[in-house]
Amino acid sequence: MAALGAAARAIQAGRCRVALIIHAGLPRQGVGLRGAPPSPMLPFEAAHGSTLIAQYALVARRHMYEYGTTREDLAHIKVAAAYHASFNPNALLRNRVTVEEVLESPPIAEPLHRLDCCVTTDGGGALVVVSEEIAASLGRPCPGILAEATTVRHWNNGKVDLTVTGAARTGPEAFAAAGLTPGDIDYVSLYDSFTITVLTALEDLGFCAKGEGGRFVRDGALHAPHGRLPFNTDGGGLANNHPDRRGGMIRAIEAVRQLRGEAHPELQVPDCEFALVHGSGFSLGNRASAATAILCRGM
Partner 1 sequence: MSTLPKVAVDVTPESRAFWDGLARGELVVTWCEVCDGHVWPPRDRCPACLGGPTTTRVLSGEGTLYSYTVVHRPDPAFAEAVPYVLGYVSLDGGPTIMANVAGVPFDRLEVGMRLRLRTPEGGTDGPVGGAVFEPVPGEGAGA
Contact flag: residue 34 with partner 1 (CB under 8 A): no
Is the preceding omega at residue 143 within 30 degrees of 0, hence cis?
Answer: no
Q: Does 162 bind partner 1 (CB under 8 A)?
A: yes
Which residue in 6, 10, 54, 99 binds partner 1 (CB under 8 A)? 54
Interatomic CA distance for residues 126 and 51, integer angstroms: 30
253 scored as a contact of partner 1 (CB under 8 A): no
Q: Write the burial class of residue 126 (CB in 10 Å: 0-12 exposed, 13-18 middle, 19+ buried).
A: exposed
Residue 37 in the binding site for partner 1 (CB under 8 A): no
Burial readout 218-252 (b: 16 or more C-beta within 10 A, e: otherwise): eeebbbbbeeebbbbbbbbbbbbbbbbebbbbbbb
109 binds partner 1 (CB under 8 A): yes
Q: Does 111 bind partner 1 (CB under 8 A)?
A: yes
How far apart, in whole angstroms, are the C-alpha atoms of residue 127 and residue 252? 8
Are residues 236 and 85 in contact, defined by beta-carbon separation less than 8 angstroms? yes
Size of the site for partner 1 (CB under 8 A): 33
In whole angstroms, the minimum distance from the beta carbon of 227 to partner 1 comes to 30
CB of 108 to partner 1, least distance (A): 5
Q: Is 30 in the site for partner 1 (CB under 8 A)?
A: no
Using the rule CB under 8 A, is 40 a contact of partner 1? Answer: yes
Residues at the contact surface with partner 1, assessed by CB under 8 A: 40-51, 53-54, 57-59, 61-62, 65, 106-112, 155, 157-160, 162
